[in-house]
Amino acid sequence: MKTAQGIPLDYYLWLSAALFTIGVLGVLFRRNAIVIFMCIELMLNAVNLLLVAFSNYYSDASGQVFVFFIMAVAAAEVAVGLAILMLMYRNTKTTDINILNRLKW
Amino acid sequence: MTFTNNLFYFLSFVAVLSALMVVLSKNPVHSVLYLIITFFAIAGHYVLLNAQFLAAVHVIVYAGAIMVLFLYVIMLLNLNHESETHKSTLMKLAATISAGLLLVVLIGSIRGSEQMMIQPQQVEVGSVKDMGRVLFKEFLLPFEISSVLLLVAMIGAVMLGKNEEEGKNAS
């Protein structure tokens, strides 16, 4: 139950669970859309860390390639998401997600 | 071994603490800066897990590109003041309890799964050489498709960011 560096795999499981939970907490806790975006990035990173840990544990490079693709998708997601946020700010002059609950301007 | 263990504890502590500060800090700019610290701690974890290529890519993509994008948008929207509206105390309490319950569920599902795992033989993966071999042999098609995805995202971002009034005048 140890990775190549002698650290138990369980520790990485717990660390990833903690980081993912903090990301979920941020999405539920805040009203600023930009901070919610950052918390989504945090959740993606928790999953990435777990994938790398398992890839190291099983000595399989496929997991790390998967992380590579997740990074590409995250970059695309952030670019489009922030563009949408800019558009939203231009129309409502705020980044408060409670303004968006009507789904119209 | 003791040194790597201590390094793991230190990096985990920094990652979790700054992740909490991302959520709790009032100013969005401070949130971004704490998120950069979290990303560097996670990059340290990657180095610890012998994934040097991913550590470098992680620092370049996240700390270099994505965080600059976030800071740029915050600067453009002029959000660096603390007059942001917050949820009510009841909603915050409910959010904390829900997140805590999720943590309980995750830990409950992780515990007791140890006997399902087998210890395989250890070979080195994660160097640029190994990653390149796997990426360009087994995952060549997904790699090419991801480039199309990035192109589409770029065009989409430009289209969304374009001023609508100008478009109306042109057509």
- Kindly provide the ipTM of the predicted complex, given to two decimals: 0.90
End-to-end CA, chain B: 67
* Ramachandran area for residue A67 (φ above 0: left; ψ -120 to 50: alpha; else beta): alpha
Task: Please state the length of chain B.
Answer: 171
* 3-state SS, residue A96: strand
In a domain, A37, yes or no: yes
In a domain, A88, yes or no: yes
CB contacts < 8 A (A, B): 233
Residue B29: closest C-alpha in chain A: A35
Structural contact between residues A58 and A41, judged by C-beta atoms closer than 8 angstroms: no
- Residue B112: DSSP 8-state: T
Structural contact between residues B153 and A45, judged by C-beta atoms closer than 8 angstroms: no
Which residues constitute the domain of residue A30? 9-102
Task: Work out the average pLDDT over A2-13.
Answer: 78
A23 contacts on B by Cβ (under 8 Å): 19
Residues 6+ apart with CB under 8 A from B41: B11, B12, B14, B15, B18
Nearest one of B46, B56, B39 to A5, comparing CA atoms: B46
Q: Could you tell me the CATH number of the domain that includes residue B36?
A: 1.20.120.1200
Structural contact between residues B131 and A61, judged by C-beta atoms closer than 8 angstroms: yes
Which residues constitute the domain of residue B34? 1-83
CA–CA separation, A76 and A71 (whole Å)? 9
Mark which of B83, B114, B129 sits at the end of a domain.
B83
CA–CA separation, A36 and B71 (whole Å)? 14
Tell me the per-residue pLDDT of A64-81, one tens digit each, with 9 for 90 and over.
899 999 999 999 999 999
In a domain, A98, yes or no: yes
The CA dihedral of B30, B19, A45, B48, to the nearest 10 degrees, is 110
Mark which of B58, B83, B108 sits at the end of a domain.
B83
Structural contact between residues B44 and B11, judged by C-beta atoms closer than 8 angstroms: yes
In a domain, A4, yes or no: no
Mark which of B18, B50, B83 sits at the end of a domain.
B83
In a domain, A16, yes or no: yes
In a domain, B93, yes or no: no
CA–CA separation, B55 and B41 (whole Å)? 10
Task: Please state the length of chain A.
Answer: 105
In a domain, B169, yes or no: yes
In a domain, A46, yes or no: yes
Q: Indicate whether A105 pLDDT > 70.
A: no
CA–CA separation, B161 and B159 (whole Å)? 6
Q: Which one of A34, A36, A77, A95 makes the best mutation probe of the B interface by having the most chain B beta carbons within 10 Å?
A: A34
Asked if residue B76 and residue B1 are part of one domain, the reply reads yes
**Cβ–Cβ below 8 Å for A52 and B46:** yes
- pLDDT tens for chain B, 171 residues: list them: 688 889 999 999 999 999 999 998 888 889 999 999 999 999 999 999 888 889 999 999 998 889 999 998 888 887 766 556 667 888 889 989 999 999 999 888 888 776 666 666 667 777 788 888 888 888 999 999 999 999 999 999 998 888 766 555 554
B138 contacts on A by Cβ (under 8 Å): 62, 65
Tell me the per-residue pLDDT of A28-64, one tens digit each, with 9 for 90 and over.
988 888 899 999 999 999 999 999 998 888 888 888 8
CB atoms within 10 A of CB A54: 19
Q: How many domains does chain A have?
A: 1
In a domain, A1, yes or no: no
- Residue A30: DSSP 8-state: -
CB atoms within 10 A of CB B123: 10
CB atoms within 10 A of CB A3: 23
CA–CA separation, B48 and B38 (whole Å)? 15
In a domain, B56, yes or no: yes
* pLDDT value, residue B109: 87
**Minimal Cα–Cα distance from A54 to chain B, Å?**
10
**Minimal Cα–Cα distance from A102 to chain B, Å?**
18
In a domain, B111, yes or no: no
In a domain, A2, yes or no: no
Tokens of B26: 């009032």
Q: Could you tell me the CATH number of the domain that includes residue A17?
A: 1.10.287.3510
Q: How many domains does chain B have?
A: 2
